[in-house]
Amino acid sequence: MRLSAYFLPTLRETPSEAQIVSHRLMLRAGLIRQSSAGIYSWLPLGLRVLRRIERIVREEQDAAGGQELLMPTIQPAELWRESGRYEDYGKEMLRIKDRHEREMLYGPTNEEQITDIVRQAIKTYRDLPKLLYHIQWKFRDEVRPRFGVMRGREFLMKDSYSFDLDYDGAVRAYNRMFVAYLRTFARMGLKAIPMRAAAGPIGGDLSHEFIILAETGESQVFCDKSLVEFEILDTPINYDADLRPVVERWTAPYAATDEKHDPAVFDRLPADRRLQARGIEVGHIFYFGTKYSKAMGAVVTGAKGESVTMEMGSYGIGVSRLVGAIIEASHDEAGIIWPDSVAPFAVGLINLRPGDAGCDRACEDLYAKLQGAGIDVLYDDRSESPGAKFATFDLIGLPTQLVVGPRGIKSGTVEVKHRRTGQREELSADAALTMLTAQR
């Protein structure tokens, strides 16, 4: 993509409503624009990041045995009356009426909808287990939306639902999601720590929140510092095997949100391992048994001909929130620093002097070859001052900047700058290409 043609409205100054760094940077870097309180448009650069996050989420869900479907945003009130939540959910649920005065709602979540689908289709234990998920926009009419996409009213969420014949099956599903979540967040460069959590209005009694530590987080959390050092991606995972050892390793050290915090246990930790911090909740998993299946009659015939109410769990990831959360975890004074896995473009190619034959030729050549190699590259071909170009690319945070200027052209080199470290190297154009294509 040529920057001269790209829709990338960056801001030099920070809009006054943005208080936290991720919100400021998302506005300044041209990722989002606010539509109304807690509701945002995603501009091309922001949408690219959102899609890349979605992709990681999808890959990990699929690997863990999930099957993707897509449920609607607008749901009928009757389903929610069946579960009893139409009244319970309160003012956070956006209620609307269609032209026939039928009561509808904009879904804040989809337990009822999925339970309805599954109860209609699954009648025998032979068709269990099932693990279904979708990635869809949700609406919760928050009293006080804030922090940009971190607590919006409209937000993109991945929600999975498991259906099992018995408790053991439900726990297996829970463990699969537990591990898939660890991998999902790790792939985005995040240190997400699973913490014992209250189940909230969704109900149930086995629940973990996945929390990344950040000063601007809304949750107060307490955990064993050793958890911060844990790694998941170097552990081979077989989702068909017993995942309990992995889950047990991650749940053995103390980690709890303030709702589940037990000071007596926490204080038994050595002082240097007690970590009390703020965190951002990026995922939440629940086992809730038959809460919905019982209320809504999601029943199968068991092996002995008996009726069995399905065991359920639900598992959410705040996809749009993750964009903000990743920025909170990865930025500096100059702007965003995207982890490679979610970067909107892998490479920013900077032509320091458009119009200079040597620079133009070298840039066009690199641009074509990088694209040919399947690398997403944003080519700054604008006639801006060099400083403006560096500032733009630092702001939008692409992992690698490839700088082509007259100085380098004279000596036959281009400069490769790594956004995260600031490290620069002068290489021949060919060597730079080899390096960038090899990284993939």
List residues near RNA by CB under 7 A.
10-17, 19, 28, 34, 36-38, 92, 140, 142-147, 151-153, 155, 157, 200-202, 209, 218-219, 281, 284, 316, 318, 321, 334, 352-355, 383-388, 390-392, 394-395, 403-408, 415, 417, 424
74, 133, 77, 76: which is closest to 107 by C-alpha?
74
Of 373 and 388, nearer to RNA (C-beta) is 388
> Least CB distance from residue 14 to RNA, whole Å?
6
Could you give the CA distance from residue 256 to residue 267 in angstroms, rounded to a whole number?
A: 13
Which residues contact residue 47 at a Cβ distance below 8 angstroms, ignoring those fewer than 6 apart? none
**Who's near 415: CB < 8 A, 6+ residues apart?**
401, 402, 403, 404, 405, 408, 424, 425, 426, 427
Give least dist CB 334 to RNA, A: 5
- Give the residue with the Cβ less far from RNA, 129 or 316: 316
Tokens standing for 164?
């099992």
Closer residue to RNA in complex, CB, 184/219: 219
Nearer to RNA, 100 or 144 (CB): 144
Could you tell me the smallest distance in angstroms from the CB atom of residue 381 to RNA?
Answer: 11
For the bound state, the minimum distance from the C-beta of residue 128 to RNA, rounded and expressed in Å, comes to: 26
- Find the angle CA(334)-CA(336)-CA(337) to the nearest 5 degrees: 105
Q: How far is the CB of 45 from RNA (least distance, A)?
A: 14
Could you tell me how many residues make up the chain?
440
Tokens 């490679």 identify what position?
A: 340
User: Could you tell me if 299 and 142 are in contact, meaning their C-beta atoms sit under 8 angstroms apart?
Assistant: no
Q: What does the alpha-carbon distance between residue 360 and residue 377 come to, in Å, rounded to a whole number?
A: 16
User: By C-beta, is 166 or 384 nearer to RNA?
Assistant: 384
* Nearest to RNA of 108, 129 (CB atom): 108
Per-residue DSSP letter, 112: H
Q: Which is nearest to 335 in space by CA: 419, 403, 402?
A: 419
At 145, list the tokens.
């939306």
Q: How far is the CB of 314 from RNA (least distance, A)?
A: 10
Please report how close the Cβ of residue 336 comes to RNA at its closest, in angstroms.
Answer: 11
DSSP 50-74: HHHHHHHHHHHHHHTT-EE----SE
Residue 72 or 406: which CB sits closer to RNA?
A: 406
Q: How far is the CB of 284 from RNA (least distance, A)?
A: 5
Decide: 311 and 118 in contact? Cβ < 8 Å: no
Given a contact cutoff of 8 angstroms between Cβ atoms, the answer to whether 257 and 194 are in contact is no
Taking the least distance from each CB to RNA, the nearer of 92 and 306 is 92
The least CB distance from residue 189 to RNA, in Å, is: 20
**Toward RNA, which CB reaches closer, 55 or 424?**
424
- The H or E element that residue 139 is part of is strand 130-139
Tokens 């991720």 sit at which residue?
Answer: 22
* Distance from C-alpha of 249 to C-alpha of 235, rounded to nearest angstrom: 12
Is the peptide bond preceding residue 129 cis, with omega within 30 degrees of 0? yes
Which CB sits closer to RNA, 76 or 354?
A: 354
Q: Closest Cα partner for 211 from 231, 182, 244?
A: 182
CB of 152 to RNA, least distance (A): 6
CA 133 vs. chain centroid, Å, equals 15
Residue whose CB is less far from RNA, 201 or 245: 201
For residue 191, CA distances in Å to 52, 265, 361, 416 come to: 18, 23, 42, 28
Is 61 in contact with 183 (CB distance < 8 Å)? Answer: no
> At its nearest, how many Å lie between RNA and the CB of residue 388?
4
Which tokens sit at 3? 């920057």
